[in-house]
């Protein structure tokens, strides 16, 4: 390689020295600074440059801004999910209480209707709750949470706010069995409210009752209300029992087939009222004289005979 190749370029060989160039640019910068400070000569240039560089600055800052916004979004999303989980947990914790409150409100309304019915019918009794139903699917029986210890007795009628449900058939120390009026073994003496005609309803075991032994030409129509007649000495008179839902008349049979639907919610309510047993309102009829004389002891018959002989 020759000496000519190792020589510096012509610009640096013939141009000003680096110190002179540095001094020139420093003086030029100071002059621009003074002019800008004293006379604001570079405002227009600065505004023009900002118009050009602003989109570039925004574009350069967009990745960082998008990253920050993404982080904020995910943090907000995580916070919202955590809050949602907290709300769901709180709702699950309060759900039983809310359901219980609704049930208690319904039971309170039902109890108020029971008390209103008891006051309207001038009947006395006590409220009880249904524990469970009988295991036999062919019977319509329920068990109450009260028994002998609470003063319940066999034969007491059971009602709800709409009418008769059934009667107590077995009593235990702390529970009692109620046979519903829809049971096949249950019969209730009733009276047709519209006509006053008396009859008896028998349970069919399917949630309905049948009005039996009614002649084919009996004055019974769909919609007739059946109330207790009180002739059995168990149910007080005047309580709703059922409403006629179907009447079938066939001249080939002596009796009409009359199906009724219970007025009370026999299969629904869990709180019912047990009415007190009815007191004997009428004395028993006296026994015939012949039967009384036969049942009297010999000494008493002798005394009667002596009084009859010596009046």
- Clarify whether residues 93 and 130 are in a common domain: no
Which residues, 6 or more positions from 130, have their beta carbon under 8 angstroms from its beta carbon? 142, 143, 144, 145, 178, 269, 270, 271, 272
Higher pLDDT, 129 or 138: 129
- Clarify whether residues 136 and 268 are in a common domain: yes
- Clarify whether residues 31 and 156 are in a common domain: no
Contact present, 209 and 202 (Cβ < 8 Å): yes
Domain CATH code at residue 164: 2.40.10.340
Tell me, yes or no, whether 304 lies in a domain.
no
What DSSP string describes the chain?
A: --TTTTSPPHHHHHS--HHHHHHHHHHHHHHHHHHHHHH-TTHHHHHHHHHHHHHHHHHHHHHHHHHHHHHHHHHHHHHHHHHHHHHHHHHHHHHHHHHHHHHHHHHHHHHHHHHHHHHHHT--EEEEEEEEE-S-TT--EEEES--GGGT--TT-EEEETTEEEEEEEEE-SS-EEEEETTSTT-EEEEEETTT--EEEEEE-SSS-EEEES-BTT----TT-EEEE--TTSSSPTT-EEEEEEEEE--TTSSB-EEEEEESS-TTT-SEEEEEPPPP--SPPPPPPHHHHHHHS-HHHHHHHHHHHH--
Closest by alpha carbon to 254, among 212, 283, 226?
212
202, pLDDT greater than 90: yes
Tell me, yes or no, whether 223 lies in a domain.
yes
Over range 101-126, report the average pLDDT: 64
- Clarify whether residues 192 and 236 are in a common domain: yes
Tell me, yes or no, whether 144 lies in a domain.
yes
Distance CA 103, CA 108 (A): 9
The residues that bridge with 225 in the sheet, in sequence order, are 243
pLDDT at res. 224: 92
Over range 89-99, report the average pLDDT: 66
- Clarify whether residues 154 and 42 are in a common domain: no
Tell me, yes or no, whether 294 lies in a domain.
no
When mean pLDDT is compared over 77-86, 101-110, 263-272, the highest value belongs to 77-86
pLDDT at res. 260: 94
- Clarify whether residues 136 and 266 are in a common domain: yes
pLDDT at res. 300: 41
pLDDT band at 310 (very low <50, low <70, confident <90, very high): very low
Range of the domain at 191: 125-275
Distance CA 271, CA 282 (A): 33
- The last residue of one of the domains, among 122, 148, 167, is 122
- What's the chain's average pLDDT? 77
The share of the chain scoring above pLDDT 90, in percent, equals: 16
Distance CA 22, CA 299 (A): 160
- Clarify whether residues 62 and 147 are in a common domain: no
Tell me, yes or no, whether 170 lies in a domain.
yes
pLDDT per position as a tens digit, 29-46: 888 777 777 777 677 777
- Clarify whether residues 215 and 261 are in a common domain: yes
pLDDT per position as a tens digit, 216-269: 888 999 999 998 988 888 888 888 899 999 999 888 888 899 999 998 887 776
Closest by alpha carbon to 141, among 127, 152, 131, 128?
131
Q: Which has the minimum average pLDDT: 57-61, 106-110, 271-275, 288-292?
A: 288-292
pLDDT at res. 10: 57
Tell me, yes or no, whether 65 lies in a domain.
yes
- Clarify whether residues 56 and 79 are in a common domain: yes
Distance CA 246, CA 89 (A): 52
- The last residue of one of the domains, among 122, 146, 164, is 122
- Clarify whether residues 48 and 185 are in a common domain: no
- The last residue of one of the domains, among 122, 146, 162, is 122
Name the one residue in this structure whose structure tokens are 């060989």. 13
Over range 67-81, report the average pLDDT: 86
- Clarify whether residues 21 and 130 are in a common domain: no
Higher pLDDT, 91 or 158: 158
- Clarify whether residues 142 and 254 are in a common domain: yes
Tell me, yes or no, whether 188 lies in a domain.
yes
pLDDT at res. 302: 35
Tell me, yes or no, whether 288 lies in a domain.
no
pLDDT at res. 257: 92
CA angle 97, 134, 110 (to 5 degrees): 40
pLDDT band at 296 (very low <50, low <70, confident <90, very high): very low
How many domains does the chain contain in total? Answer: 2
Distances from the Cα of 23 to the Cα of 12, 15, 18, angstroms: 17, 14, 9
């Amino acid at each position: 390689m020759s000496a000519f190749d190792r020589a510096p370029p012509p610009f640096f060989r013939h141009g000003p020295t680096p110190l002179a160039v540095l001094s020139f640019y420093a003086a030029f910068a100071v002059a621009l600074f003074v002019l800008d400070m004293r006379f604001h000569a570079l405002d227009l240039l600065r505004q023009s440059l900002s118009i050009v560089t602003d989109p570039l600055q925004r574009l350069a800052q967009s990745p960082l801004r998008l990253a920050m916004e993404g982080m904020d979004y995910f943090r907000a999303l995580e916070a919202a999910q955590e809050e949602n989980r907290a709300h769901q947990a709180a709702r699950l914790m309060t759900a039983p209480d809310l359901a219980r409150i609704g049930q208690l409100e319904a039971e309170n309304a039902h109890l108020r209707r029971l008390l209103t019915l008891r006051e309207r019918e001038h009947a006395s009794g006590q409220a009880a709750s249904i524990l469970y139903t009988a295991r036999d699917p062919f019977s319509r029986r329920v068990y109450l949470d009260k028994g002998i210890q609470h003063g319940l007795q066999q034969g007491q009628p059971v009602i709800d706010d709409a009418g008769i449900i059934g009667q107590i058939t077995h009593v235990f120390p702390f529970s009692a069995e109620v046979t519903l009026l829809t049971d096949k073994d249950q019969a209730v003496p009733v009276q047709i409210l519209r006509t006053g005609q008396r009859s008896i309803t028998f349970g069919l075991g399917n949630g309905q009752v049948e009005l039996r032994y009614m002649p084919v030409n009996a004055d019974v129509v769909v919609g007739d209300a059946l109330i207790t007649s009180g002739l059995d000495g168990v149910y007080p008179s005047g309580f709703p029992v059922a409403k006629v839902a179907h009447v079938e008349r066939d001249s080939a049979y002596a009796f009409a087939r009359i199906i009724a639907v219970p007025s009370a919610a026999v299969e629904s309510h869990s709180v019912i009222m047990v009415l007190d047993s009815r007191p004997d309102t009428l004395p028993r009829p006296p026994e015939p004289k012949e039967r009384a004389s036969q049942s009297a002891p010999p000494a008493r018959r002798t005394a009667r005979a002596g009084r009859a002989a010596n009046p």
